[in-house]
Chain A
Amino acid sequence: MENEIAARNKKIKHAIMIIVLAILFVAFIFPFIMVIINVFKVKSDITANPLALIGRHGFTLENFPNAIKKMNFFRSFGNSLIVTIFSTIGTIILSSMTAYLIVRNNWMANKILFVTMIASMVIPFQVLMVPLVSLYGGIFGVLNHRITLIIMHIGFSLSMATFMFHGSIHTNVPISLEEAATIDGCNKWQIFSQIVFPILKPTIATVAIIDAMAFWNDYLLPSLVLGRKELYTIPIATKVFYGTYSTDTGLIMAALLLAMLPILILYLFLQRYIVEGITAGAVK
C-alpha cells in the first residue's frame, strides 16, 4: 500500500519535472526557432510579422545564396577549420608532452614552469591584447598570418590543457607500466608516444572538445590578428557582414544560420561524446 503511494508520488513528481523541463527547453531553443522561421521569408514579411510561420510572399530560399556569396561563407568556413584543427592538435600534443615531463620529473625547472602556467591562468586576455598587437604587429610585423593566430591560440590554451593532462597522467598512468617498458628498452620518447599518450585518450577528447569550441567561436583574438579579408574566420565574417547588411534582415538570418550550422551539425553526430567529455572534465 505504502509502496503504491510512493510509486504514484514519484510518477507525479517525474511528470511535473518533465513539464518544467519541456517549458524551459522551449525557452532555450526559442531564439533558434526565430532564426529558422525567418530565414525562409523575404525582408518585408519579416518586418511585417517576425512571429508568423510563413510570410505573405511565401517560402523563399533566396537569402541563402546571397548570404553565402556576400559573406564569402566557404572561405571563412575554411579559415575557421584550418585555425581550429591546427590549434587543437598543437595544444594537445604540446601540453600532453609538457605535462608528462612535469609529472615524472621533480626538477626545479619543471616546478617553475608549472607554477608559472597555473598562475598565468588568471591573466585576462584584455591585459595581453595591447602588448600582443604592439609586439607582433608593430615591432615584428607578423600579424595577418594564420600561423600567428594558431601559435597564439596554442599559447593561451597551453596552461589549462597542461593542468588537465597533469591530473590525468598523475592518476591514470601506472608508473609500473613505464618501468616495464624501460626494462624492455624503450626510451622516454617511446614510452610517452606509445604507452602514455594512448592511455590519455579520454582526457585528449575532453581537451579537444573544450579547446576546439573555444577556438572555433573566438572573436577578439582573431579580429586583432587577422585584418585581411581573405583570412576572416566565421565570427569575424559574421561581425563584418552584420555591420554592412544589418538592415537586410532576411540576409542576416541566413548568415546567422550559416554561422551556426557547422557546429550544430557536428553536435548532432558527436553529441554523446561532447556531453560526456565536458562532464568528465568537470569531475576534477
Chain B
Amino acid sequence: MKTNTMSYKFKQYLLFAGISTIIFACVVIIPFIYGLYLTFTSWDGVSRNKPFVGIDNYVSAFADSGYWTSLGRTFIYSAIAVILVNAVAFIIAYMVTSGIKGQNFFRAGFFVPNLIGGIVLGYVWKFVFNKALVELASTISSGHAKSLLATESGAIAALIIVSVWQYAGYMMLIYVAGFMSVSEDVIEAAKIDGCTGTQSIIHISIPLMTASFVQCLFLTITRCFMVYDVNLSLTNGDPYGSSALAAMHVYNQAFINKDYGTGQAEALILFIICAVIGGLQVYVGKKGEVQA
C-alpha cells in the first residue's frame, strides 16, 4: 500500500482527525474569527442585521471606565491570590511529602475544594461569611460584627480567601509531583555534604522543581484572571459593582446591557492580555529547560 499519495493521506486524516477538525473549527476557530468581525458591528442580540460601525466599539471600550477599573481590580486580586495560592500549596506539598503519618489522607483532603464547582462554592462561602463568621465575630467581640462581603475591599479579600481555598489543593498536587521527581540520592548527597533541611529545599529542591513552579504559576494566573463563577455567586459584583472582576464586567456588558459589540471588543482586549501571559509562559518554560 502506498503511504505517500495524496489520497492516502487525505483518507487517514479524515479517519483520525476529521471529526476533531470539524468540531474544533466550529466551536473555537470560526467563533473566534466571527467574534473579530462582531467587534466592528453593533448588534442588539435580537435582530438579524448587524450594522457595521467601524471602530466605534473599541472607542467605547477604551472610554468605559468601569471596564478599566474592573481590569485593575482583577490585576490586584490575581497578584495577591496567585502568590498566596502558590505559597500555601508549596508549604502543604512540602509537609505532605516529608514522610509523615497520614500524608495520603491530607493530600486527598486538601484537594476536596477542587471537586466542587465555583457556583456552589461561592454560595457556601457566602453563607460562611454572612452568617457563620459574623456570628463568630459577634460572639468574640460581644458586639455586632459586619460581614466581610459588605465592604469593597472586604469583598475582594473574600474572593482571594475563597480562591486560595479552592486552588491550593490542586497546585499542591502539582508541587507534590515536583517534590517526588527530585531524586532521593541528590538530597542524600547534599545531607552528607552538610546541607541542613532548609538549605536543601532552597538550593536543591526548588531549582529542580522549576517546571512545577512555571506550571502552577501560569495555571493560577490564567484561572484567577478569568474567574467568573465564584465572583458571580459570592459577591455578584456587590457592594454596588465594586467587586466585579473583568470577566464579569464583559459578561454584563454583553448580556445584561445588551451591548454585544462593546462587550466583544472588551473581551478581545482580555484575549490580548491572555495571549501575552501565554507567550510569557512558553518563553519562561523554554528558558527554564535550558538551565535545568
Binding site for B on A (CB under 8 A): 13-14, 17-18, 20-21, 24-25, 28-32, 34-35, 38, 46-47, 49-51, 94-95, 97-98, 100-102, 105, 107, 109-110, 113, 116-117, 120-135, 138, 151-152, 154-156, 158-159, 162, 188-189, 192, 213, 216-220, 234-235, 238-239, 242, 249, 252-253, 256, 259-260, 263-264, 267, 271-272, 274-275, 278-280, 282-283
Q: Is B95 an interface residue (CB 8 A)?
A: yes
Q: Does residue B9 face the partner (Cβ distance < 8 Å to A)?
A: yes
B28: A residues at CB distance < 8 A: 120, 123, 128, 155-156, 159
Measured between alpha carbons, how far is A120 from B30 in the docked complex, in Å?
Answer: 12
Residues of chain B within 8 A of A21, CB atoms compared: 92, 95-96, 100, 106
- Closest chain-B Cβ to A211's Cβ sits at a distance in Å of 14
CB contact under 8 A between A51 and B135, given known A128-B35, A282-B215: yes
| Residues of B with C-beta under 8 A to A102 | 17
Kindly state whether residue B15 has any CB partner on chain A within 8 Å: yes
Checking B21, B38, B176, B247 against A126 with a beta-carbon cut-off of 8 angstroms, the contacting residue is B247
In the complex, A260→B169 CA distance in Å?
17
A20 and B98 alpha carbons, distance in the complex (Å):
13
Interface of B is mostly: helix
B24 interface residue (CB < 8 Å to A): yes
B98-117 to A contact mask, C-beta < 8 Å, 1/0: 11111010111111111111
Query: On chain B, which size bracket covers the interface?
Result: 35 or more
List of 5 A-B pairs having minimum Cβ-Cβ separation, nearest first: A155-B27, A217-B117, A122-B278, A101-B16, A131-B35
B40 lies within 8 A of chain A by Cβ = no
Residues 230-270 of chain B, each 1 if its beta carbon lies under 8 Å from chain A, else 0: 00110000000000000100110010000010011001101
Residue from the list A31, A110, A188, A217 in contact with B118, Cβ < 8 A:
A217
**Distance between Cα atoms of A262 and B189 in the complex (Å):** 47
Binding site for A on B (CB under 8 A): 9, 12-13, 15-17, 19-21, 23-24, 26-32, 34-35, 38, 43, 45, 48, 92, 95-96, 98-102, 104, 106-121, 123-125, 127-128, 131-132, 135-136, 139, 165, 169-170, 173-174, 176-178, 180-181, 212, 215, 222, 226, 228-229, 232-233, 247, 250-251, 254, 260, 263-264, 267-268, 270-271, 274-275, 277-279
Is B120 a contact of A97 with CB atoms below 8 Å?
no
A239 to B229, CA, bound (A): 10
The one of B26, B117, B124 in contact with A34, judged by C-beta atoms closer than 8 angstroms, is B124
User: Contact partner of A46 among B13, B30, B131, CB < 8 A?
Assistant: B131
Q: Which residue of B lies closest to A122 (CB)?
A: B278
Give the Cβ gap from B276 to chain A, nearest Cβ, in Å.
9
Whether the Cβ atoms of B226 and A125 lie closer than 8 Å is yes
